[in-house]
Structure 1
């Protein structure tokens, strides 16, 4: 089967070709060539365009909102309503969480097209940016027209983070700089970054104050925290960053020591939202944790009193969560979930866009994960996933997905889940 990818797409990245100017830490920098690359699409999209949708005449959905709850904290606002987060105007209250290795340009582009109001970049190391690490610079660049562009920075030193914030604002016009104060990964915590910052609310406040001062008038500053490190401390951290100038605070409803097997504590998120709503700064709060279905997003907004809902794992292989959650908020019906064929078509489109943006090798490595997420739970997905993990060419990966799509649309056919389409590649390379 011929490849659906355009010929000559996605030349591999070359540092000498893209970054021949002085590193950004030098004072008198010359203008650098932009590294922005717009994901292009050659397949018909199965995602609905963002924007208002016509009311549904379908029967009442099991997802329909319950009658008004006297304990509801959302003051009648819905996910589909516009919101201002510290002056940053968003078309709705759905936000894509920053996820390392996931929320690159292509993923953000797909999420925004599906209706997401704001999408964060992957977490970017402040030191890697300032040392002009080529891979980090490619990671940090937005796609053309990405507005607002929201960057999440990882670090622990107020001055270093401030310099990195100035860089992303000046180089790429970032409208929002978010500081990661919640990453639970051991190597990050061991370095005193991410969730390790929660142990010192005073340091969290100094970081926000310094970054806010550095980009004042040009960009807004926020942070993403957890309910605490090994015990609840979110109220102290939230007060510290709010008084230091944070435009809003995103709260993940778990401690650093808790895994996804522990249900997210939405009441803990509600406590932070209530505390900051009564404080002198009245800083908005964004809730995050266990938003896996459209109904979860609607429920979190209603039950916690947050200003917006952040979606993480629920968007993996599932950009439709944004359009369906907005439909649920507007009409009481999220509409049907995507069909198996729609999910595979979206995977093919995602692969095509990644090749255009990152080149063949990078696209294939990333699509091993993304492809697995798109087809999770579908018939014979295990065999297809195994084949995706073994190939090394985009055309081979596209052929596997096209073959699987043909099987789904014509069930009488046969999917060869044992055939090898390329050399074996360890999944640890992903």
Structure 2
């Protein structure tokens, strides 16, 4: 197994997998704004192994694994790794889909989602619910590892109702994942409260004692590149994963760019819209784009009115006409 996680030198920055956000279009847009060497790993949206394993459901679910050729070119130019993130709770199905992905796609790694806190997912015993079933969690990691030559990482949280970081991370370390990415919140916290980097630091210390060779990354409340570097220095993590920070600043991975003009923001919004239409027109709901419009249209006079106006548009052409 070629574990790229070990080859990237710290500080490592990655873009978190996010539902209805980190599709091929958004990944390409973010990479296009990044400074070479400042963004190292990007992830797909969460992809259900059960959905991928179903002959009827596979076609729709596999949309999450689409990679545009233009993104593929940019990945190569920027030296960025692309990881497919999968979720479920059946080890055998994990193995089937890990094998299928390895044979039919061109990803650099597979990540197992043991962190999503959404209640409907938690209720079926998947993602962050697996923190409460460490035996099954380890079985899933082992089964996935055996089925693919790709490095298998795990993204998770510090606990369910309360932090149980050391107990949980020690279980994961037993089965040698290719890397661990730890979000400093419990499942119950969802996105509320502050992410605990103290808990992440505890996990790093434990990892250094038990399995120092396993790369360890932190996640939670990092809203600037400089803050990410600070977290790496403070806690000893190998890298930082950025989630909501990208919504505050889509130019996050270009830390030298501190002034972004209104014109640049609108140009990027239009480029995103055009690429989304080319990729998903007739497949995905146009309204998904509106969450992105909010992140481009801010920090300049009149931004609030533009945001309000664009929340009312009904299709791509209305967007293009609005800015003519």
When the two structures are superposed, what TM-score results if normalisation uses the length of structure 2? 0.88
Distance 1:206 1:391, change over 3 A: same
> What SS does structure 2 have at the residue aligned with 1:269?
helix
Aligned to 1:300: 231
- The answer to whether the aligner puts 1:102 opposite 2:27 as a matched pair is no
- Point out which structure has higher relative CO (alpha carbons under 8 A, 6+ apart): 1
CA deviation map 1:264-314 (0-9, x unaligned): 111111111121122146311111000112222111111111001100011
Q: CA RMSD in A?
A: 2.1
- Does structure 1 residue 211 correspond to structure 2 residue 133? no
- Residue 240 of structure 2, aligned match among 301, 306, 309: 309
Match of 2:47 among 120, 124, 139: 124
State how far apart, in whole Å, the 1-side matches of 2:11 and 2:68 are: 21
Q: 2:216: which partner in 1?
A: 285
Aligned to 1:149: 82
The answer on whether the counterparts of 1:92 and 1:117 sit within 8 Å (CA) in structure 2 is no
Find the aligned partners of 1:142 and 1:159 in 2 and give their Cα distance: 26
- Cα deviation for residue 214 of structure 1 reads 1.1
2:203 is the alignment partner of 1:272? yes
Deviation at 1:319, TM superposition (A): 2.7
The Cα of 1:164 is off from its aligned counterpart by 1.3
Call closer, same or farther: CA 1:137–1:389 in 2, change over 3 Å: same
Tell me how far apart the structure 2 counterparts of residues 391 and 181 of structure 1 sit (CA, whole Å). 37
Give, in angstroms, the shift of residue 101 of structure 1: 0.7
Query: CA 1:243–1:375 in structure 2 vs 1: closer, same or farther (change >3 Å)?
Result: same
**Which whole-Å CA distance do the structure 1 matches of 2:259 and 2:270 have between them?**
18
Is 1:186 matched with 2:109? no
**1:90, CA displacement in angstroms?**
6.8
**Residue 271 of structure 2: which of 349, 372, 379 is its match?**
349
1:43-54 equivalences in 2 (<5 Å): none
- The answer to whether the Cα contact below 8 Å between 1:127 and 1:160 also exists between their aligned partners in 2 is yes
What's the offset of the Cα at 1:229?
0.6
Structure holding more helix per residue? 2
User: 2:158 matched to which residue of 1?
Assistant: 227
- State which drifts further: 354-363 or 219-228: 354-363
| 2:114 corresponds to 1:195 | no
TM-score under structure 1 normalisation?
0.67
Contact 1:351/1:364, CA 8 A, preserved across alignment: no
Structure number with bigger Rg: 1
Q: Give the match's secondary structure for 2:314.
A: coil
Cα distance in structure 1, aligned partners of 2:105 and 2:276 = 21
Change over 3 Å in CA distance of 1:353–1:91 after alignment to 2: farther
